[in-house]
Amino acid sequence: MPTIKIPEHLLPVDGRFGCGPSKIREAQLDALVKNAHLLGTSHRQAPIKELVKQIQSGLLELFHNPPGYEIILGNGGSTAFWDAAAYSLAKGKSQALVHGEFGAKFANALKAPFLESPTVITSEVGSRGELLAEAGVKQYVYPQNETSTGVITPVARVVADSDALFLTDATSSAGGVDFDPQETDVYYFAPQKNFGSDGGLWLALVSPKAIARIEEIAATDRYIPEFLSLKVALDNSRQNQTLNTPALATLVLLNEQIKWINSNGGLAWADAKTKAASAFVYAWAERASFASCFVTDPAHRSQVVCTIDFAETVHAMEVSKVLRENGILDVDPYRKLGRNQLRIATFTAIDITDVERLTAAIDFVVERI
């Protein structure tokens, strides 16, 4: 028995509010059953290659079909992509925005011995800095949504050397936030966030300029492990394949979510949905006597990951524990941030009615704890 029992009418229909793995819709699971005949079959044969092709063309449609851009993919999730990008895309000097865990991890990957020491623009967690035009920088990198703090950065180029690339970590924003693909060269992500699939895969929308860089680096004498070679990934992706075996269920779940978003109005629809849900959370936090928005500048507040600070008198972890006992899951803060706060995903699949119930459930628990 939970110590505090939240009444039925305050319980979300789906209690999953985590930032990844995240809510998987029932229709995705139905698609998994409907496509059960694909599971356990070779990824080198037509049926799975057709599935990968649908994912690639569905993503291009979702991302506004930028001319010449391609979707490449490989195993290992976004974390593997950081190292792949360091080995296969980066040259010379990088500039990185760092205001949380994920941005910091990519900045570290760019400290590889064959690269120049990067310019790191570090900002306080809960806020962010801006990319700055810098002569000699060959790649500008930043997280579109810093998932550890709930801070959003617009996808926009700055004045740069003509051969500079822009790399956007869109792991937790892709599929939930609209953007202009022409404003970046590499828009990479993993399927376990807005796409409601499973982890372990990375995907990237790459511009013609980024493809040219992949070819350029591959032609140098730099040692590149095969697993981290984006040239190998590019060649395989053009055959609707991956270097090594992908998880097939992940592909089915992902494809279903892409089709769902596209058929509902695409990225503009998803963007409006996540904006409305997050706006509800932020307005609630501003009203609540015990809560406040961690991200103080409204322009920096993420529409897909809401971080809510609690007053000292209320222990967020205790609230989270009671919520968990009642089936409301994974609203704990990012483990390394160490704040007295809750972190709530408002990904595309998460319905605003469930967000309304969640906030009412938190109010209920805080009054009784």
Ligand X SMILES: *Cc1c(COP(=O)(O)O)cnc(C)c1O
Q: Which residues bind ligand X (CB under 6 A)?
A: 20, 77-79, 102, 143, 145, 147, 169, 171-172, 190, 199
In this structure, what token pair is assigned to residue 318?
């205790």
Cα(278)–Cα(213) distance, rounded to whole angstroms? Answer: 37
The separation between CA 175 and the C-alpha centre of its own chain, rounded to angstroms, equals 8
The angle formed by the CA atoms of residues 158, 96 and 99, to the nearest 5 degrees, is 110
- Whose Cβ is closer to ligand X: residue 147's or residue 307's? 147
The residue whose two tokens read 């730099």 is 222
Instruction: Report, in Å, the least distance between residue 76 CB and ligand X.
Output: 7
Instruction: Give the residue with the Cβ less far from ligand X, 188 or 290.
Output: 188
Label the pairing between strands 341-345 and 305-310: antiparallel
* 293, β-bridge pairs: 308
Question: Per residue in 322-360, is it b (16+ CB within 10 Å) or e — as a string?
Answer: bbeebebbbbbbbeebebbbbbbbbbbbbbbebbbbbbb
Angle at alpha carbon of residue 68, lines to 63 and 72, rounded to 5°:
65
Residue 96: CB minimum distance to ligand X, A? 13
Nearer to ligand X, 250 or 359 (CB): 250
What residue number has its CB nearest to ligand X?
A: 77
CB of 261 to ligand X, least distance (A): 18
Q: How far is the CB of 345 from ligand X (least distance, A)?
A: 10
Q: How far is the CB of 171 from ligand X (least distance, A)?
A: 3
Q: Which is nearer to ligand X, 143 or 196 (CB)?
A: 143
Q: Which is nearer to ligand X, 20 or 74 (CB)?
A: 20
Distance, CA of 113 to CA of 104 (rounded, Å): 17
| Per-residue buried b or exposed e for 89-104, using 16+ beta carbons within 10 Å of the residue's own CB | bbbebbbbbbbbbbbb
Indicate the residue among 195 and 260 with the shorter CB distance to ligand X: 195
Rounded least distance, CB 120 to ligand X, Å: 16
Residue closer to ligand X (CB basis): 172 or 326: 172
Tell me how far, at minimum, the Cβ of 102 lies from ligand X, in Å: 4
CB 146 within 8 A of CB 103: yes
Residue among 111 and 315 whose Cβ is closer to ligand X: 111
Closest by CA position to 344, among listed 306, 301, 291: 306
In the complex, the smallest distance separating the C-beta of residue 74 from ligand X, rounded to whole angstroms, is 12
Shortest spacing between CB 219 and ligand X, in angstroms: 28
Q: End-to-end alpha-carbon separation of the chain, Å? A: 15
Smaller CB separation from ligand X, 6 or 152: 152
Give per-residue burial for 264-273: e unless 16+ CB within 10 Å, then b.
eeebeebbeb
